[in-house]
Amino acid sequence: MTDNLFIVRHGETEANKKDIDAGPLDYPLNKKGIKEVSFIAKAISRIKINAVYSSPVFRAVETAQILAHPHRLRVKILEELTEAKLKPEFVGKKGRHHILTDPEAFEETYSDLLERTIKSIEIVKREVEGNVIMVSHGDVIAAMLEGVVERRVGSERYYVLHPEPAALSIVEVKGRPFLILFNYHRKLLSKL
């Protein structure tokens, strides 16, 4: 049985920096992206990780390889983690469309994306025992977390957002509210 999913968005690329919709294009991580992913890799290096899954898109695979290195694991490609399917006329163009705010720019619906992400979790739970790293993209991760928050991943009833005692959560409120950190506490990494 899978214990914990460490869900990581790929590191920064020049496309992110220049506000370009990269879609399936092979943008490598830039220096900042490599540095930030290396920080995450070091932070979880002492946790026993049993598998690393990645979107097939190059920037995600590159991120997954950095995260897998301390654990001496090979990256497994999982198609269900691929970037939200942007229409060809938007790929490589400036604009940064998101499936919830600009659904007309995508070849799949948000409902399709949500089902795909739920399937990815089911596949991982079926294949791996222990802790798993999953590397994907912003819209995909948002859909994946929504599936968890709305309890669509399993049949049991449970709380998803329930803080531990003395836990820190941060919400950025300038512009639209954005959850920056949830349930960070002293014993967090020791529990994993």
Same domain, 188 and 171: yes
Same domain, 85 and 134: yes
User: Which candidate, 123, 126, 99, 132, places its Cα nearest to that of 113?
Assistant: 99
**Cα Rg of the chain, angstroms:** 17
Q: What pLDDT score does 145 carry?
A: 83
User: Which candidate, 44, 2, 47, places its Cα nearest to that of 148?
Assistant: 2
Separation between Cα atoms, residue 54 and residue 135, nearest integer Å: 5
Same domain, 91 and 180: no
Same domain, 86 and 178: no
Same domain, 186 and 122: no
Same domain, 188 and 104: no
How many domains, the chain? 2
Q: What pLDDT score does 106 carry?
A: 93
User: Which candidate, 86, 118, 78, places its Cα nearest to that of 103?
Assistant: 86
Same domain, 30 and 123: yes
| pTM for the structure as a whole | 0.84
CATH number at 103 reads 3.40.50.1240
Same domain, 104 and 169: no
Separation between Cα atoms, residue 34 and residue 166, nearest integer Å: 32
Q: What pLDDT score does 165 carry?
A: 64
Task: Please state, in angstroms and as integers, the Cα–Cα distance from residue 31 to each residue in 12, 36, 71, 162, following that order.
Answer: 8, 9, 22, 36
What is the mean pLDDT, run by run of 10 residues, along the chain of 192 residues?
86 92 92 93 91 97 97 98 94 88 92 92 91 91 79 60 64 70 64 58
Burial zone of 192 (CB within 10 Å; 0-12 exposed, 13-18 middle, 19+ buried): middle
Q: What pLDDT score does 90 carry?
A: 93
Same domain, 115 and 167: no
Same domain, 142 and 186: no
What is the span of the domain harbouring residue 41?
Answer: 2-160
Q: What pLDDT score does 135 carry?
A: 94
Same domain, 98 and 68: yes
Separation between Cα atoms, residue 27 and residue 100, nearest integer Å: 23
Same domain, 145 and 168: no
